[in-house]
Structure 1
Amino acid sequence: MFQDGFPNYMRDDVTKAVRLIPHKTYNNGVSKDNIQYYQDNNVIRFPYRIYYNDISDEVIDNLSVRQKMILHCIYSRSCDGFVRQKHLYSLLLMDYEDWAIPYIVKICDEYVLEILEMTYDILKEQDTKRIKRFCLENIVQFCKSYNRMISYWNEYYRYRYKNFHHYVGRKLFRECFGYSRSMERRKKG
């Protein structure tokens, strides 16, 4: 189930990392819903949510850099927003590889404002050409993510950010991920 979320050449690292995930869960382990993107002409598919208890920092500290990234990606799908934020933060501070980008982009169309703020604060200081290229490669899914981010602003944050142009989600998607209105027209063509 997690192997499809990473390139085939990482199979051994994914297997080793996944074996360390605690068997104790909040629910059924993983949701039936999957997220799907394309990257380098390959399908990347991972669970919308995982329900595993968080993995200890001590376990993560004993892994290779790549295995740490894998676990941070997997736990960015946690049902617990604090766990998602913790692992995304760790991932963003690493020299993350391109295969981690789908996980970074996906978490940003969700409703946790603190995750959007943290991600924007980190990415606005980085060169995000690789992320922008990924978003362009997945233009239909990315435009859906942008619209989903807007719906969460409208539902939960409109009172705080009355002007959408000042909303951190909009800034993140436009400045760091490369969203533009022309993408909406291009996805239809």
Structure 2
Amino acid sequence: MFQDGFPKHLNEDVTTVVGMIPHKTYNHVTIAVSEDTIHYFQNNTVIRFPYRTYYIDSSDEVIEKLSLQQKMILHCIYSRSCDGFVRQKHIYSLLQMDYEDWAIPYIVKICDEYVVEIIELAYDILKEQDTERIKRFCLENIVPFCKSYNRMISYWNEFYRYRYNHFQTYIGRKLFRDCFGYSKSMERRAKRIVEHLT
């Protein structure tokens, strides 16, 4: 279920991490992961991971037993949690690490969602980093990336207009443009690709 979200050479580490995740779910929901999945393209491979997971958070004691790479995998998996506080905790931990390229899809995806505190956190950290690797990934996934940009706008329009009166000042716009490399020309290219495929 999680193997497709990471490179094949990490299969053993992914298995170890998944084995340490509690099998209890929030509110005793009967599904552990959503049927909906996120798809990206990276290193000539389709990356696929659940849109949401419902496992309760792992304890700090469990996390401490993991290797650095395994911790990174765990933070990626929990960035898809149904609990916004859990997502925030793990994306913060991930962004504090010298994260690998395979973690980038999880970083980009969480930033098109509705919890503005996560977007603010990501921007505060990423604005101090060289994000060329992330920009290359977004360019490689130009169609889903532009959908993410528009999704981010829709959440601003729905929930955050009162705090950020003008979209130009919205932290999500700054994140996507400054750190992820979004531009109008990318949007035009994405539209041409979609038109060509339909």
TM-score computed with the length of structure 2 as normaliser: 0.95
Give the percent of matched residue pairs that are identical in Structure 1 and Structure 2. 77
What is the number of equivalent residue pairs in this alignment? 189
Please identify, of 101-110 and 57-66, the stretch whose mean Cα deviation from structure 2 is larger. 57-66
Q: Report the equivalent of 1:25.
A: 25
What are the superposed Cα offsets for residues 100-145 of structure 1, whole Å, 9 maximum, x if unpaired?
Answer: 0000000000000100000000000000000000000000000000
Match of 1:47, as an amino acid?
Answer: P
| Partner residue in 2 for 1:34 | 37
Q: CA deviation at 1:170?
A: 0.2
Moved over 2 A (4+): none
Asked whether 1:49 is paired with 2:52, we answer yes
* CA distance in 2 between partners of 1:116 and 1:161 (Å): 13
2:196 maps to what in 1? none
Matches of 2:61 and 2:183 in 1, distance apart?
42
With structure 1 as the length reference, what TM-score do the two structures score?
0.99
Show structure 1 runs of 5+ residues with no match: none
The one of 138, 144, 148 equivalent to 1:145 is 148
Q: Which letter maps to 1:98? A: D
SS at match of 1:140: helix
Alpha-carbon distance in 1 for matches of 2:156, 2:60: 33
**1:184 aligns with one of 176, 182, 187:** 187
| 1:160 Cα deviation from its structure 2 partner | 1.0
Q: How far off is 1:174 after superposition?
A: 0.2
